[in-house]
Structure 1
Amino acid sequence: MNGRIDHLSGDLFFENEMDIFLNRELESFTTLQHTHDFVEISFVGEGCGYHYIDEEVIYVKQGDLFVIPIGTSHVFRPSSPKQDKMLVIYNCIFRVELLDKWKHLLQQDSVTFDAINNPSQCSARWLHFQDKHDTFSLIVQNMYREYLKKSAGFETVLIALLIQMLVLLQRFEMVNETETASFRMFDEVVHFIKSRYTHNLTVQDVADYFFLSASHFQRLFKKSTGLSFTQYLQNVRIQKCCELLKSTDIPIYQIANQVGYQDMKFFHALFRKKTGVTPRQYRQNFQELDESDISC
């Protein structure tokens, strides 16, 4: 799929006994998939395309950041060979030895630390982050400018910025771990909603019950279900309405009240939006189906 895999030596990039190198590459289809004997942090600065890494192909766009350990094969390619489809990658490559004096500044029980210092023991072959708030974009661009200008003390600045980036990546890890732990309670959240959907249930009620902020809960909930809390709650209520309309003769307004809706105008509009028919039509349709089954 990607042609042969080449090995790139750090000797091609490092100069004047420096242990860090930066560049800005306009990716093409001519570059071969390759491994290297240095650590690489790649940041998608512009455009979109694909990252061929190990045996995977990942769609990438501006803001994607990868930590690529020693020995991991990869190559970036634009989404199309046409010149209007460009993919610009900022690469920061460095020898592992560069951080020997600074390891004590990093959290050593982290995947980021292991990916750089102990790749053979790391739980991940490579790391992928998304820079949603331009946190890393600013650091990468500052590093690139420092490398190009090579003003007095630029190596010290580059090392400081690299350590800052690694510390922030470790913080991202902690946030992701917290979110993963929060997702584990998702079944409990669903049970809580389904057991209380008849009440005037709000996002704040559920968030408080699980000791989360309302905004954080909504973000986790949307990520887990693809729906907002309100949309999910409406679906639960309308589904229960459908069950009652099919299986009972309870008046429609009482069914609406039972599932938590007092405003009948809103209820009818919502039911029609969700099912395509009115509650009365829904009940009649199923009564007609039952009669048809009996006649058969």
Structure 2
Amino acid sequence: MTVPLSILDLAHVNEGMTVRDSLDASVALARTAEASGYRRVWYAEHHNMATIASSATSVLIAHIAAHTERIRLGSGGVMLPNHSPLTIAEQFGTLETLHPGRIDLGLGRAPGSDRNTMRALRRDVTSADAFPNDVVELQGYLTGHSKIIGVDAIPGKDTNVPLYILGSSLFGAQLAAKLGLPYSFASHFAPAALEQAVAVYRAEFQPSEWLSEPYVIAGVNVAVAKTSAEAQEQLHVARRRMAAQLLGRGRTLTPEEAEAALESPAGQHVAQMAVYTGAGAPEEVVEYLDWFAGHSRADELIVVHQTGTLEARLRSVELLAEAAGLPQ
């Protein structure tokens, strides 16, 4: 591989799993990623979703960090408009204090939820408008240069937790460029604006004390198995599950209904979201990722291992690392 590889763990609660099963699976995934040479593992904030267990992102990161030794861990991302910048500075300042040099703070402005859940979070529909100012305020707490007189993040002050701007549109690209921060594009589920957003970010980037040159992380789906046929089957199971989740709206579908979901508008939507997917034997996926790294102009790839079972996911993690020659 020409660029480093990282992992986005969606903390799925699959059919037949409990939430605790999902959290245990995230520990197993991070430990496997660490042993296999991946650079970092990130977790995304979602709310009111029965199939995702990463809603309390900082708590999950703390748990994973206590069960690993050196791999970087972070948010991909924290939806900052759901929180006060001071609270997030304190949470991630605590994580950095406990696990120095291992914590990343990726920030997004999407709700990570529906409108009813937004109200339950006490979030106003205009909260996202304050995102740029909130990022600057948060950065001030973490660097010891608070923007609010007499208010410091304890823990948090002077921890300098690295910030990453996440996005799927030009807005995040422009903000990351203006602030001189790394930019992570969600091309694993929102591929449409990838090329334009990266081009804007690189063209408009302003060097800062944190970053002298643009740094792009791009998301991409993978399914790796010993044979191409096995990988395609794992990917099929994962996409069927995603389509069923979109179509079922909380109701468990029968196997026949789940298969039919793939041909439904929900299934077509899943296929469109996952345009950037490498599935196959290890060498095939590495070849695809090399192409994608060039296509996306990425400095790092963050992969989502799309498989039907935890066992297959862990094997996918190991096979890709081995084929990509990741440092052990």
State the TM-score, normalizing by the size of structure 1.
0.23
Answer 1 or 2: higher relative contact order, Cα 8 Å, separation at least 6.
2
Q: Which has the higher helix share?
A: 1
What TM-score, normalized to structure 2?
0.22
